[in-house]
Amino acid sequence: MAHIEVRDLRMQYGDQLIQEHVSFSVPPGTIFAVMGGSGCGKSTLLRHMVGLQEPAAGDVLLDGQGYWCEMDAKDKQAARQRFGMLFQRGALWSTLSVADNVRVPLELHWRARDEAEREQRVRDVLEWVGLADQVDAPVHGLSGGQVKRAGLARAIVAEPEVIFLDEPSAGLDPVTSLRMDELILSLRDRTGASVVLVSHERDSLFRIADDSIFLDAESRRPLAQGRPADMRHDEGLPLAVRNFLQRKDDQA
């Protein structure tokens, strides 16, 4: 299983600095959370980790090999096959059916396997996320929670070793959000994959995250790192981190 590491990463859009000095390690089987206020660079960090954006400095290492400084095009393609991603806005094709969306990664990465095996995999994954009865439904008719689960199915269908989930439970009601947490935990336990997720949902972070980093929008650097459930009562943390982890529910 993959060990992913971010080493002294600096992220920019043109001249605009988003974050710098970002370093952390995600050993296999870890659920790692990226936390911070809106606009601090969480989605940008995920895009750097999956190789969609090039760092201004620093690197992302997969099993010790630098994605940008050491890998050639072939290595990069092999690396990307080990990743699956749920984008913040779903990024599903709304006019296509659920199954057609979920099939896409298999057509890229499972070409060597026969079609019957690919189809079985699509059905199995959709059953696992609880969408067995929506296989042929167009995505635009799904509820918010169903779209998230379809996106999760697409992220995991090709059996990635690292799964990136950008706000998997944002906008979901508490019961649906709990179901998403259970899916993420069972995925990790069943496959041994690691999960890197962006979340604002404190209850979810306390329940499932083994480790985390907090990115600060003001200083544009990480402010804290650790297991969210341990950090929540730590009065020694910077105020921005405490505010994020200790907000009352009615202020969330």
Ligand X SMILES: Nc1ncnc2c1ncn2[C@@H]1O[C@H](COP(=O)(O)OP(=O)(O)OP(=O)(O)O)[C@@H](O)[C@H]1O
Instruction: Tell me how far CA of residue 62 lies from CA of 22, 30, 115, 213, in angstroms.
Output: 16, 15, 30, 19
Rounded to a whole number of angstroms, the minimum distance from the CB of residue 22 to ligand X is 12
Shorter beta-carbon distance to ligand X: residue 88 or 225: 88
Site string for Mg ion, 66-95 (x = CB under 5 A): ----------------------x-------
233 vs 247 by CB, closer to ligand X? 247
38 touches ligand X (CB under 6 A): yes
Work out which of 6, 26, 33, 40 binds ligand X, going by CB under 6 A.
Answer: 40
- Say which entry of Mg ion, ligand X, none residue 44 contacts (CB below 5 to 8 A, set by partner kind): ligand X
Please report how close the Cβ of residue 199 comes to Mg ion at its closest, in angstroms. Answer: 10
Does the footprint of ligand X cover residue 18 (CB under 6 A)?
yes
Q: Are 122 and 103 in contact (CB under 8 A)?
A: yes
CA atoms within 13 A on the CB side of 135: 13
- What gap in Å lies between CA 18 and CA 40, rounded to an integer? 7
Q: Is residue 241 helix, strand or coil?
A: helix
> How far out from the chain centre does Cα 40 lie?
16
The answer to whether 11 touches 41, Cβ cutoff 8 Å, is: yes
- Site residues (CB under 6 A) for ligand X, limited to 75-104: 88
53 belongs to the binding site for Mg ion (CB under 5 A): no
